[in-house]
Amino acid sequence: MYLYILAALAIICSSAYAAEECRFNGITSFYERVEQFNPINKEISSQKTLLESNLDIAKMRPNPEFELEVLRGQQGGEDVNSIGLQAQHVVELGAKRQNRINKTYRQKDLIELELDIQGLRAKLEAVSLFKRVSQLDLITSSIKEAIGVFNKIIKKLSSRARLNPEERVSLSTLELAANDYSAQLIELENEKEITIGKLTFFSDCNITSTSYSEMKLSKYVQPSQGARLKGLSQLEDFKKNLAKSDLDIENSLGYSNLSIGPRIEYQDQLGQNALSIGVALNFQLPLFNTNNGGKKRALQKVMAQKISSQNMKSKLLIKRKTLVNKYNKLVNALRKMPSLKEIEEKHENVEKLFSRGLVSIPMTIESHRQQVDFLKSKFDLENDAINTFININLIDGDHSSLKSIL
């Protein structure tokens, strides 16, 4: 009975969750939603919390050792009893514990930066997808309008008893264009449905509407000489620090641990009692093994990581410079393009001329084709600019500059 009740409650809750809808005034409000409710944020937060337990593990000290020895025998027909009690504290020489802690902190810095980059990548991807949905809305709307106009002309021409050669060619062209646009419409609507599904995940709600807005285009400035980047470039610095921590740990392993503590021994022999109190000391003599192999391997790892990180940072700086140049070229190209408002006004004028019979059917077909092609070209440039901007941000690790283009 309880299982049925729980199942019913689960269905009701899931239905309520599925019914949750979000309306956004623009891409900025969507970005704010993603910043707050993106499920990946929760995943990243839980993984960062997990890192704290690694610190607790690194800070642990060895437990004291306790030893009790009880011996009983006979000597000359008399009972002989001996009791030994020893407690030893393990001292980690060579700063083993501190080196463990330092490595864990550096490991924590590295993983946290990787998680931050992962979160930034998710937010940037979400914004890019939202922009794409708003673009698809405009393209599909334009294609639907073109299909509607073409079908009206097709119906009008098909109703005529006789057509002149130009009209027959126009009818055939219109039918091909309408079929082609219908196929494109299906493909674009499928893409939109898939993209909205991804947006639903990133925003943790159902997207009911999107609105297109022009990008705030501004040129990107190259960083000053010696500027410190916080994204993928800083990741390489953390990798070098982690390799150095491994070397410190291997060096500390060259020292043996020291066990020291009090020792008490009581003896009862031939009716005489003896109590001995002293200090017990135990450690390994570093005669045959001082971890030279581990030290050598760790040192080679540090040297290899330095070379690898330096090469990667050089590649990232070159890549960033190339991306900035590309982004600025895309900005210039988009600035020279007419706005959507201007294109819509021109298109409305063509529609008015056609309705008055002042524009031929081929020109009407060409007008709609040009509008659809222009939208696709403009949006391709926009998406290329956004993706380029995203890649620059990932190198820089800049969470704030995204809002500058929204």
How far is the C-alpha of 20 from the C-alpha of 13, rounded, in Å?
11
What pLDDT sits at residue 240? 94
pTM score, whole prediction: 0.78
Coil, helix or strand at residue 289: coil
Task: Calculate mean pLDDT across residues 225-241.
Answer: 78
Task: Calculate mean pLDDT across residues 339-348.
Answer: 78
What pLDDT sits at residue 371? 86
What pLDDT sits at residue 4? 36
Task: Calculate mean pLDDT across residues 134-140.
Answer: 91
The yes-or-no verdict on residue 76 having pLDDT over 70 is no
In the chain, the domains with their CATH numbers are 27-60+98-254+293-405 (1.20.1600.10), 64-91+256-289 (3.30.1300)
pLDDT digits (tens, 9 = 90+) for 367-378: 888 888 889 999
How far is the C-alpha of 285 from the C-alpha of 283, rounded, in Å?
6
Task: Calculate mean pLDDT across residues 75-84.
Answer: 78
Phi, psi of 91 (to 5 degrees): -105, 120
pLDDT digits (tens, 9 = 90+) for 188-205: 999 999 999 998 898 888
Task: Calculate mean pLDDT across residues 202-215.
Answer: 79
Percent of the chain topping pLDDT 70: 86
The yes-or-no verdict on residue 308 having pLDDT over 90 is yes
What pLDDT sits at residue 163? 79
pLDDT band at 17 (very low <50, low <70, confident <90, very high): very low
pLDDT band at 302 (very low <50, low <70, confident <90, very high): very high
Task: Calculate mean pLDDT across residues 163-190.
Answer: 87
Residues 387/12, Cβ–Cβ less than 8 Å: no
How far is the C-alpha of 404 from the C-alpha of 111, rounded, in Å?
28
Task: Calculate mean pLDDT across residues 391-396.
Answer: 86
What pLDDT sits at residue 359? 65
- Beta bridge pairs of residue 261: 280
Residue 16: CB atoms within 10 Å: 9
The tokens for 365 are 């077909």
pLDDT, mean over the chain? 83
